[in-house]
Amino acid sequence: MVALQIRDVPEEMRDRLAAIAGERGLSLQAYLFDVLADEVRRRDNLAVLQRFSAGRYETRLAAADVLDVLRAGRAERDAGLGAPGDLPGGEE
């Protein structure tokens, strides 16, 4: 693992960050690590959302095929539970 250092942090900011960390029961180091980890996760999530919004799903399945699998799975689940199946007309 590597160590990071941030220079020229105003004392007031450090004190406020330390207070937030304390409220959460964390050390300042643990709190700042969580903040950085959350930022990285958000960037990863943003990349996934951008890929999907651009229509690059990288799947060969048609929407109808997905719906058929879902309906079959639900029917199997419902049969096991003794519940009624799909609504008339195939609508759910």
Q: Is the dihedral of CA 13, 16, 18, 21 positive or negative?
A: negative
Radius of gyration of the chain from its Cα atoms, rounded to whole angstroms: 25
Q: Is the pTM of this model over 0.85?
A: no
* pLDDT tens readout for residues 57-92: 666 777 888 889 999 999 988 888 876 655 555 554
Closest residue by Cα to residue 75 from 92, 63, 61? 92
